[in-house]
Amino acid sequence: MNGIDAGFLPVTKEEMNQLGWEQLDFLYLSGDAYVDHPSFGHAIITRVLVAAGYRVGIIAQPKWQNAEDIKRLGRPRLGVLVSAGNMDSMVNHYTAAKKPRHDDMYSPGGKAGFRPDRATIVYCNRAREAFGDIPIIIGGIEASLRRFAHYDYWSDKVRRSILVDSRADLLIYGMGEKPIEEIANALDKGTQVKDITNVRGTCYLTKEAPQSSDSVRYVPSFEEVRDDKKKYAEAVKTESEEQDAIRGKTLVQKHIDRYLVQNPPPMPLTQSEMDRVYSLPYARNYHPMYEEQGGIPAISEVKFSLTSVRGCFGACNFCALAFHQGRTIQARSHKSIIAEAQKFIHDPDFKGYIHDVGGPTANFRQTACEKQKKAGVCKNRQCLFPEPCPALKADHSDYVALLRKLRALDGVKKVFVRSGIRFDYLMADSDDSFFYELCEHHISGQLKVAPEHISPNALKYMGKPSRKVYDKFVDKFYRINEKLGKKQYLVPYLMSSHPGSTLNDAIALALYLKENHITPQQVQDFYPTPGTISTCMFYTGIDPRTMEPVYVPKSPEDKAMQRALLQYKNPDNYNTVYKALQKAGREDLIGFGSECLIRPKRHTNDMGGYKNESKNSGRKNGFDKNKRGVKARGGKAKGRKRN
């Protein structure tokens, strides 16, 4: 069976011929393998265009060493669309320690090496070589988060907007269904791409400075943010404040002799528009051409998962979702979601288990408050931090009703919630119905939650709720499970070395872990990805919200100590933990008392290293069994979003 027979868009000339297409309208170049499923950006954008009457072909992970591979479907009539994929290509390739990853869940067989570093820029350059003066439109997470001058962790410098470096004509940021259709229609009518300057959700370059007005804000120029960290922080503050479709202004940032102009975000999709996007005829699988290479691993978790919502008003400082999808919740109807679930039931691979019903945050199904619908999200106020806003409407009734309908479907055995919940939003709801039903029906033995830290200082810079909120949630979780007669556990996500987190904060977290018998087998170092408030803090040492200085653990030694403290029981970390406690003046935590983290050093060995008195020192892991059942995070980092 070829791709066309299986319901995919053409990837070869032969498949174009089968459809009777002599020429494409648009060619889509993707850094991900071709998976025609609505969890993949390339699938949604291409399906939206095809539904609008355009002929679209896909070259997924083209060979980038020269332009020949990009020519294989011929020159498209209207333009080339370019995306690095569902992840920034540098995040996809490198760990937080800047070490190469050996796997890629979005590539054949899960192997790395199928896309270049900075894929958007490379693909655009090859498209220019192949087709010359043709409209090139970039989008996806990499383009979206790098749309302004930005700090690049991997080169440790401020880079220009990716629109400048890629030599593309237009950049679509955020979710691109509305902008791409508007751009396509303009090009089809003969409008020159240089004249398409009024589409919401896009950025363009111009040599003429836009006039200042009440609807236009200038941010510090590329040269200013490159040379002055305070200016960089000022730019990030302005950029983050204006990412709202209702009240957001046009933003302008000068780049040498040109001006980058960001039009306001597109209006959120209505429920009917969301339903339409997810009702398009996706093949819902990876292209058959990958079968011999082992398929595409990323499909396994999402194939039988349901996207319920977009957007997130949680707006954690280290998460780029607010800058990409926005803080306004956009939800699908029950009817649309149930119709998709019924397609699962007829799939021969479906075993009766829906893996997830959610989105960036599973338990958000509505705008945070009524005001947002008319006035947009607040400019200088977060919905949940530092405390839930008095106007917040914490209500899970719609989500509960949806989950009940899905559970009742013939052929469905279990419906899981795995995309993460905001426990502070859950605790703000006076009705416990969702909490009880979550524990009774929607957990597979363990629930992943993201307290990230417990120190008030660290949490302040993360934009996360206080420890007391998390402690109340933990207590309630176990009380409910006890009432239900279930033994289920929490898996806390923890982060080390976030800007603002001091060595004493890391020690406080280690003591919390000891007190609560939590033994993390894996923790995540803060990863400075483009587009976040936290990355701005990491680079500048300034909190852009207040313009006050912030401590940043940057040195390898500081980062290693904070990370080791979270796994203080691991014998491999003993010397690092010992050094950290000495540096912090906390030798009181080195000893034999129940409050101590490690035991004293006993003697040196022949290699000059130290042994210690821990009875676990000869064990491979040195991890205790969990006394309360609070399990630890495991598995490999996959660049997932954090709630």
The predicted pLDDT at position 118 comes to 98
The residue to which tokens 């002929």 are assigned: 55
How far is it, in rounded angstroms, from Cα 362 to Cα 312?
10
Pairing verdict, β 489-496 and 524-525: parallel
Which of 204, 54, 45, 57 has its CA nearest to residue 140? 45
Work out whether the CA dihedral 130, 185, 137, 252 comes out positive or negative.
positive
What is the residue type of 582?
Q
pLDDT per position as a tens digit, 116-168: 999 999 999 999 999 999 999 999 999 999 999 999 999 999 999 999 999 99
Pairing verdict, β 56-60 and 26-30: parallel
pLDDT category at 624 given cuts 50, 70, 90 is very low
Fold that domain 13-198 belongs to in CATH: Rossmann fold (3.40.50)
Q: Is residue 418 pLDDT above 70, yes or no? A: yes
- The residue-averaged pLDDT of 236-245 equals 95
Do 566 and 557 meet the contact criterion of CB atoms below 8 Å apart?
no
The predicted pLDDT at position 612 comes to 54
Query: How do the domains of the chain map onto residue ranges?
Result: 13-198, 490-643
Which of 283, 336, 469, 313 has its CA nearest to residue 382? 313
How far is it, in rounded angstroms, from Cα 463 to Cα 437?
28
Do 88 and 145 meet the contact criterion of CB atoms below 8 Å apart?
yes
Six token digits for residue 88: 């920034």
Residue 457: exposure state from Cβ atoms within 10 A (0-12, 13-18, ≥19): middle
The reply to whether omega before 386 is within 30° of 0 (cis) is yes
Do 426 and 434 meet the contact criterion of CB atoms below 8 Å apart?
yes
pLDDT per position as a tens digit, 56-65: 999 999 999 9
Which of 436, 467, 543, 448 has its CA nearest to residue 498? 543
Which of 565, 614, 618, 568 has its CA nearest to residue 591? 614
The predicted pLDDT at position 611 comes to 53
Do 46 and 56 meet the contact criterion of CB atoms below 8 Å apart?
yes
In the Cβ-directed half-sphere of 391, how many Cα atoms lie within 13 Å?
12
**Mean pLDDT lowest among 229-233, 551-555, 564-568, 634-638:** 634-638
pLDDT per position as a tens digit, 317-364: 999 988 999 999 999 999 999 999 999 999 999 999 999 999 999 999
- The residue-averaged pLDDT of 387-401 equals 96
* Cα–Cα distance list, 501 to 201, 452, 458, 460, 558 (Å): 35, 11, 5, 9, 10
pTM: 0.92
Q: Is residue 641 pLDDT above 50, yes or no? A: no
Q: Give me the chain's average pLDDT, please.
A: 92
pLDDT per position as a tens digit, 249-288: 999 999 999 999 999 999 999 999 999 999 999 999 999 9
How far is it, in rounded angstroms, from Cα 319 to Cα 309?
17
What is the residue type of 589?
L
Which one-letter DSSP state was computed for residue 94?
B
- The residue-averaged pLDDT of 398-409 equals 98
How long is the chain? 643
The predicted pLDDT at position 606 comes to 45
* Cα–Cα distance list, 94 to 122, 176, 260, 577 (Å): 17, 27, 29, 26
Q: Is residue 603 pLDDT above 60, yes or no? A: no
The predicted pLDDT at position 212 comes to 76
Contacts of 611 (CB under 8 A, 6+ apart): 601, 602, 603, 604, 605, 617
Six token digits for residue 104: 């890629």
Contacts of 112 (CB under 8 A, 6+ apart): 93, 100, 101, 102, 103, 104
What is the residue type of 92?
N
Do 353 and 304 meet the contact criterion of CB atoms below 8 Å apart?
yes
The residue to which tokens 């009432």 are assigned: 483
Q: Is residue 300 pLDDT above 70, yes or no? A: yes
The predicted pLDDT at position 112 comes to 96
Q: Is residue 637 pLDDT above 60, yes or no? A: no
Six token digits for residue 590: 């080195």
How far is it, in rounded angstroms, from Cα 142 to Cα 145?
6
The predicted pLDDT at position 633 comes to 40
- The residue-averaged pLDDT of 178-192 equals 98
Q: Is residue 634 pLDDT above 80, yes or no? A: no
* Cα–Cα distance list, 388 to 291, 385, 474, 532, 559 (Å): 48, 6, 18, 21, 32
Q: Is residue 1 pLDDT above 80, yes or no? A: no
Six token digits for residue 103: 């796997």
